[in-house]
């Protein structure tokens, strides 16, 4: 097993593992007007608290631009990668020969984790936490974007109604102008005719 570990260390797939879990992260909760500590023991509660606190802290999701996965992780205080994340499991699995049977792969990875004093459940919990964060963010982002789209559509309806009213005003004004010009033209012709009747006699 030590030979296997040395191979993984050579390719930077294994680093020195600290088996102690993070003590948690302090997040400001606007509703309670205080900082709350997010513990790592209850992953589901962590994610719900984290998402709720971040929404209170930063407001609605910005929907006028896309946000990178790295920024999402940063937003919710989750490391992008590291030895105590789900991505380490992926590195272990990918480092094994593809032709190995699934059960052999699982056993090999478990043996590597045990040799490196790493808890499989911690890595799985990290993956589940990330999935929950991504799903919550995706829903929030989708809802926020859908709301922005509806606001734009509503504004388009208002603008179209305004355009329609303006077009009606233009038609009314043009009709009024034509009628006014016709009345003035008729009146000026009548007056001019009277004046010309007398001028022609001179």
What pLDDT was estimated at residue 76? 87
**pLDDT cut 70: percent of the chain above it:** 67
Would the pLDDT of 93 be above 50? yes
Query: How far is 44 from 135, CA to CA, in rounded Å?
Result: 13
Query: How far is 97 from 164, CA to CA, in rounded Å?
Result: 69
| CB distance 47 to 129 below 8 Å | yes
Which two structure tokens, joined as six digits, stand for 36?
């709350």
Cβ-count burial of 116 within 10 angstroms (0-12 exposed, 13-18 middle, 19+ buried)? buried
Would the pLDDT of 201 be above 90? no
* Range of 25-29, 44-48, 151-155 with top mean pLDDT: 151-155
The residue ranges of every structural domain in the chain are 2-154
Q: In b/e form, how buried is each residue of 61-95, taking b as 16+ CB within 10 angstroms?
A: bebeeeeeeeebbebbbbeeeebbbbbbbebbeeb
Would the pLDDT of 141 be above 70? yes
pLDDT tens column, 96-138: 888 889 899 899 999 988 888 888 999 999 999 999 999 999 9
Q: In a 3-state reduction of DSSP, which class is residue 185?
A: helix
pTM exceeding the 0.85 threshold for the entire prediction: no
| CB distance 51 to 76 below 8 Å | yes
What does the mean pLDDT of the chain come to? 77
Query: How far is 141 from 70, CA to CA, in rounded Å?
Result: 16
């Amino acid at each position: 097993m030590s030979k296997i570990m040395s191979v993984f260390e050579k390719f930077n797939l294994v680093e020195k593992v600290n088996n102690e879990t993070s003590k948690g992260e302090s997040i400001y909760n606007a509703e309670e007007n205080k900082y709350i500590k997010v513990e790592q023991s209850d992953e589901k509660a962590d994610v719900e608290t984290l998402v709720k606190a971040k929404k209170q802290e930063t407001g609605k999701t910005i929907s006028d631009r896309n946000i990178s996965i790295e920024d999402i992780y940063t937003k919710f205080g989750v490391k992008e990668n590291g030895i105590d994340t789900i991505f380490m499991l992926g590195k272990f699995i990918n480092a094994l020969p593809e032709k190995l049977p699934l059960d052999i792969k699982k056993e090999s990875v478990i043996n590597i984790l045990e040799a490196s004093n790493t808890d499989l459940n911690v890595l799985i919990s990290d993956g589940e936490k990330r999935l929950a964060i991504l799903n919550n963010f995706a829903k929030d982002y989708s809802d926020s974007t859908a709301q922005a789209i509806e606001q734009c559509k509503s504004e388009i309806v208002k603008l179209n109604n305004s355009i329609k009213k303006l077009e009606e005003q233009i038609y009314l004004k043009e009709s009024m102008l034509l009628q006014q010009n016709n009345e003035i033209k008729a009146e000026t012709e009548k007056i001019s005719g009277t004046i010309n009747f007398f001028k022609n006699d001179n």
